[in-house]
Amino acid sequence: MNKTIRNGIVTGLHQHTGVTVVPNNTTDHRPDYPYITYQIIGSHKSNTFSLVDEVIPSTNPDFEYDVKVIRKEQQPFSLSINAYSNTEEEAYSLAEKARDWFTFHGDLYFVGMNIAIIVAGNINDRTQLIVDDYERRYGFDVRIRAARAITKRVETIESHNFNSTVNRQPKE
């Protein structure tokens, strides 16, 4: 997942829930409760793509046109979202609000980022015992597809003069 998509998801999730959103695997100090964490748990190879050719002006003065080849694909990846609190009710409520954003409230936001939510999983209890007290966590996983395009410029051969004689060496 690229930085623009990650930052967009973090910003949108923060705006919708009103709490701090941080990476799960950070060693920095955790914010005060409540807060949300995210972690990329998998990036999947895209098996489908399309190639589009576009005629563009050439950068070579000897040619009038080049071809821009664009490979468009939908890159799937998965995120794990966890809501943390010191009470079970608040953690669950925050996880539910985050899941609602992925499944409903954020739909236009995601379209503007060229991503689609494939599925947001069920909310699960992910509470952990930390030393002698429990940290209340509820979370879910989200499968996302992000539009990705790769481009390259290919110079064209616009004309060529062929020599009409062919030199062949006899076989020995």
| DSSP-derived secondary structure letter, 31 | P
- Evaluate if pTM is beyond 0.85: no
Weakly modelled stretches of the chain, pLDDT under 50: none
Predicted local confidence at residue 4, as pLDDT = 81
Q: Which of 44, 124, 30 is nearest to 76 (CA)?
A: 44
CB 83 within 8 A of CB 124: no
pLDDT score recorded for residue 40: 86
Query: What is the set of domains in the chain, with CATH numbers?
Result: 3-47+75-146 (3.30.70.1700)
Name the nearest CA neighbour of 8 among 134, 132, 120, 146.
146
Q: Please state, in angstroms and rounded to a whole number, the distance separating the CA atoms of residues 138 and 136.
A: 7
